[in-house]
Structure 1
Amino acid sequence: MKREDDFEKRREHLKNLTNDQLYDRFWSLTNQVVKPMVDLAYTHTSPAIERSVVLRMGFSSLQAQPIISYGTKWNLLGKGIGNVILTYAKLKNIDYIKAGVELSKGIGWDVVSEKMKGSDN
C-alpha cells in the first residue's frame, strides 16, 4: 500500500512562518505536551522517588529504607523526605546527616510530623 503524499496540504498552516516563529511554535506545543507530566510530578511522589532523593543526599541504602518506611507510616512522603530530613535538622539544630540517622532509627518523627503538618512546607 502506497502512502499518499500529503505533505504540502499538512504544512499549509506553517509555510508562511519564519524560523523564529516555527521555533516558538515548536516550544509552545512541546510545553503543552509536557505540562501535564510536570504538574503530576509536582503533586505526586512515590517511595522509590523519595528513596532516590535520600540516597543522593548521602545516606546508605540501609539508612534510606527505614527513613522511607517511617515517612510512609507518618504520611509525610508528599512533603518530600529530603525536606522532612532538612526540617528535622533545623528543628534540632543538627547536621542533616545526623538528623537522617536519627530518623532512620525512628527518633523524631513525632516532632517533625507535627511541624510538617502544621505548616505549608
Structure 2
Amino acid sequence: MIREDDFQERRKHIANLSDKELYDRFWEMTAQVVDPLLELGRKNTTPSVERAVLLRMGVSSLDTQKIVEGAMDRGLMGHGTGNILYKVSKAKNISIRETSEAMARGEYWDDAVAMFKEGK
C-alpha cells in the first residue's frame, strides 16, 4: 500500500506564516488541547491524587497529608498541591524539599494564597 503524499496540500493554510507566527500558532493550538485537561484536573482531583503527586515530587509521606490538608483548608486544591509547592519553592528560591517541610509546618501558606488569588 502506497500512501499518497499530500503534505503540500495540507500545509497550504500555514505556508505563508513566518516562524514567529508558526510558533504562536503552535502554542495557541497546544493550549486548545491542554486547557480542557487542566480543567478536568481542577474539577476532579482528590486528596489521594494530590498526595501521590507530592510523593512523586520527593515529599515525605508524613508531610503530604499536612500539605494536602493545608491546600484544602485554604481552597487551593483546584490549583494542585504539586503546582502550589513548585511555585512557592521558585518564589522563595529554595528546594522543593525545604518548601514541603516548611509548608507541612504551616509556613508559606499566606504566600501561596496571595500567589494564587492574584492569578500567578
Q: TM-score, normalising length from structure 1?
A: 0.63
Query: 2:95 maps to what in 1?
Result: 95
Alignment of 1:26-41 (within 5 A): 41=40
Q: Which runs of 5+ in 2 are unaligned?
A: 1-36
- Distance across 1 between alignment mates of 2:117 and 2:65: 22
Q: Does 1:84 align with 2:84?
A: yes
- Kindly indicate whether the alpha-carbon contact (under 8 Å) linking 2:85 and 2:100 is maintained by their aligned counterparts in 1: yes
| Number of residue pairs matched by the alignment | 85
Larger radius of gyration: 1
Deviations 1:22-69 (A, max 9, x none): xxxxxxxxxxxxxxxx58733321111111101111112101010011
Q: Which runs of 5+ in 1 are unaligned?
A: 1-37
Query: 1:48 maps to what in 2?
Result: 48
Percent identity between the aligned chains? 33
Q: TM-score, normalising length from structure 2?
A: 0.64
Aligned CA RMSD, in angstroms, stands at: 2.0
Query: 1:60 maps to what in 2?
Result: 60
What amino acid is aligned across from residue 94 of structure 1 in structure 2?
I
Runs ≥4 residues deviating over 2 A: 38-43
Query: 1:16 maps to what in 2?
Result: none
